[in-house]
Chains A and B, each alone.
Chain A
Amino acid sequence: MSDWTWVVPLPVVIPLFSAGLTLALYRRPRVQPVVSVTALALVLAASLVLLFQADNGPLVVDVGGWAAPVGINLVADRLSSLMLTISSAVTLCVLLYSLAQGRDDDEESAPVSIYHPTFLVLAAGVANAFLSGDLFNIYVGFEILLAASFVLITLGGTRDRIRAGTIYVVVALLSSVLFLVALAAIYAATGTVNLAQLSLRLPHIDPDVRLTLQVLLLLAFAVKAAVFPLSAWLPDSYPTAPAPVTAVFAGLLTKVGVYAIIRTQTLLFPGGQLDDVLMWAALATMVVGILGAVAQDDIKRLLSFTLVSHIGYMIFGIALSTEAGWTAAVYYVAHHITVQTALFLVVGLVERVGGSTSLTRLGGLAKIAPVLAILFFVPAMNLAGIPPLSGFLGKLGLLQAGVDAGTPLAYVLVVGSVVTSLLTLYALVKAWNKAFWQSPADTPRRAHLPFGMVGPTAALVLVGLTLTFAAGPLYAYTERAANAFTLRTTYIHAVLPDGERGEGESADVTEERAEEQPDEQPDEPATTGEHP
């Protein structure tokens, strides 16, 4: 165990405490931003520490001092830390952007007093879902972030947002119920919800039961990750929210679902019984999503559809069940979070300058706001996968992994990926031409772009470019993460030392025994020690 384990709970604890603090300071709109920005900056710092420390092996914290498998634990391994680092960088940028937007105009999309606490709770929920080493705690993390996202998607309670929110809320609640049913079934079959212990016990139960559990979990996560046939809710609900909110949703929420799929597929259900099904789902997600994007004439809706379609790439990588596939999938998730969020922020700026997001009304923005044109062009090309950007590297990794797998289905997916890439390019170039180069239908509203909004957007675009420059070390990192997926023992050993059976008792008891009764059996029922 390293000395850095105390950092593991911070990404969850800091935002939650700050959320309470900002709620208490709801009459002090000048202090609130200071608190929330500081909190998210601290979370980013903590995530970076975890990113480097987790490379030496997973860091495990037993919450409340109860050892696994009885207690809940937080585990920061390479995958969790990478997700956490990217997501906290993204949330920080979006928060700064929304602050500048709120300063610049007092629309109803401006941060009201409830915005800061909710945003921080969202960050805490995402961090909790990423770090949790316990399926039920993942469920709790999901619910925390969903509750926050409900509030954010219906900010202001206007007619359109209620309409969009209705769909979103009901679908989210339904997927939560599915997840709960899956949890109940898993507990009935194995008697535990601890991920490490599950991965030890699941191989010993009836294979048909195991398959049922896998399908239940995958269904619940596929709704959250917007995998086609369960993705229809997303393009209807995301675009109506304020730009920063849509950006953070598009970047993070679906990826939490993807993360959960990666985690459960690699740790709990290795061997890939459902890989063919996932492959077809990935193909359908890519193709149907991108065809939807091609048909749109509103940039926000177009981007929502590209978001759905690119989830397909990640599912493709997961479904390959090879180290190369997993490596590429994890890298692709990191790339996609930054790029998709950056694009939505840029569209928020486009809406401010052009007064609309409809491609038929926009035009001539390249003359008015050349900086904006560059800011849109770089992540758009990155999303489409133009070399040498990170999107190209991620897609190339996936294609290589697909060709290496060599099954006919994998080849079909490789062709599907390339076609989807080209169609993404077509859709984005169409948007770029219409918004920035065609002669405008009506005069643009204003060309004033506050630096506070351009800055964070540019920062995110730069983060996307950093993924390109740092592709070597990052790819090596995801490779090591994927290698840990195949081994699985490092994770299990970190959570359950003591011969793969956790102690399952309170830290107080362990200490007392060490002091008083050094010869007692370690498998008696755990009690909280009575202090003499």
Chain B
Amino acid sequence: MTPNVTLVIAIGVLFAAGVYLLLERSLSRVLIGVVLLGNGANLLFLVAGGRAGRPPIVGAADEGQMSDPLPQAMVLTAIVITLGMTAFLLAMAYRSWQLQRHDEVQDDVEDRRIARLAAIDERAVTDADTEATAQSLDEEAEEARDETDEGVVQP
């Protein structure tokens, strides 16, 4: 089996772009990343299914020239699933924007707590990064946006 080089390169580009976008903080970019990744995986499945060929309809062509229908059926299923998941992610990004006027992934509670504990300690770390601002990493961490205390309705 010799896969189509153009398709293989396209898969690589889709995966690279998808992974890059997944690492962003904004949910809408993550959403686009998921879409690209999903499309890359679907394309990979199609290429994995073997070479292109005649339509897989019995009687339309002889069997040796037909393309394999199974991966096509599976990719169709996967496309539908990706669509549903994308819709949910979009709804979640919108809800996030409704709640706090930005759709960035928020800091984790535990991380914030640890950062605050670290800030209570002495200046532990100074290095080339922090000397410019004359701040320790802990102080910078403390100044980072913190949603854990502000605007949260305490149960």
Contact = CB atoms under 8 A, between A and B. Distances in A.
A91 B45 CA distance: 35
Given A163-B106, A174-B22, A181-B41, A169 B74 contact: no
B12 interface: no
B108 A188 contact: no
B41 to A, nearest CB: 4
A143 B27 CA distance: 21
A143 B34 CA distance: 15
Interface stretch (B87-95, B124-132, B133-141): B87-95
Contacts of B95: 154, 157, 162
Given A147-B84, A159-B99, A166-B105, A525 B63 contact: yes
Contact of A147 (B78, B88, B105, B110): B88
Nearest to A357: B155
B41 A177 contact: yes
Interface residues on chain A, size class: 35 or more
B1 interface: yes
Contact of B22 (A159, A170, A188): A170
23 contacts: A143-B81, A147-B85, A147-B88, A154-B95, A157-B95, A157-B99, A159-B153, A163-B147, A166-B92, A166-B106, A167-B105, A167-B108, A170-B34, A173-B34, A176-B81, A177-B38, A180-B41, A184-B41, A187-B74, A188-B48, A188-B49, A191-B68, A193-B70
Contacts of B85: 143, 146-147, 150, 173, 176
A236 interface: yes
Interface in B15-63: 22, 27, 30, 34, 37-38, 41-42, 44-45, 47-50, 58, 63
A143 B37 CA distance: 16
A185 interface: yes
A122 to B, nearest CB: 14
Interface of B: 1, 22, 27, 30, 34, 37-38, 41-42, 44-45, 47-50, 58, 63, 68, 70-71, 74, 77-78, 81, 84-85, 88-89, 92, 95-96, 99-100, 105-106, 108-110, 147, 151-153
A386 interface: no
A162 B92 contact: yes
Contacts of B34: 170, 173, 177
Given A166-B106, A184-B47, 8 more contacts: A140-B77, A169-B89, A170-B22, A173-B34, A177-B37, A180-B41, A180-B44, A184-B71
Nearest to A356: B155
Interface in A147-182: 147, 150-151, 154, 157-160, 162-163, 165-167, 169-170, 173-174, 176-177, 180-181
B36 to A, nearest CB: 10
Contacts of A180: 38, 41-42, 44-45, 78
Contacts of B47: 184, 188
A62 B140 CA distance: 61
A384 interface: no
A165 B105 CA distance: 10
Contacts of A146: 85
Contacts of B99: 157, 159, 162
Given A159-B152, A166-B105, A170-B22, A188 B92 contact: no
Given A166-B27, A166-B105, A183 B92 contact: no
A16 to B, nearest CB: 15
B22 A187 contact: no
- 5 shortest interchain CB distances as A-B pairs: A188-B48, A184-B45, A184-B48, A180-B41, A184-B44
A181 B18 CA distance: 14
Contact of A187 (B30, B38, B71, B84): B71
Contacts of A187: 45, 48-49, 70-71, 74
Contacts of A436: none
B84 A236 contact: no
A326 interface: no
A188 B1 contact: yes
A527 interface: yes
Contact of B74 (A136, A151, A176): A136
A375 B19 CA distance: 46
A92 to B, nearest CB: 27
B48 A160 contact: no
Nearest to A528: B58
B145 to A, nearest CB: 13
A189 to B, nearest CB: 9
A159 B97 CA distance: 10
A492 B6 CA distance: 39
B38 to A, nearest CB: 6
Contacts of B30: 170
Contacts of B153: 158-159
Contact of B44 (A143, A165, A181): A181
A530 to B, nearest CB: 11
Among A143, A165, A166, A301: residue with most chain B CB under 10 A: A166
Nearest to B95: A157
A358 B100 CA distance: 26
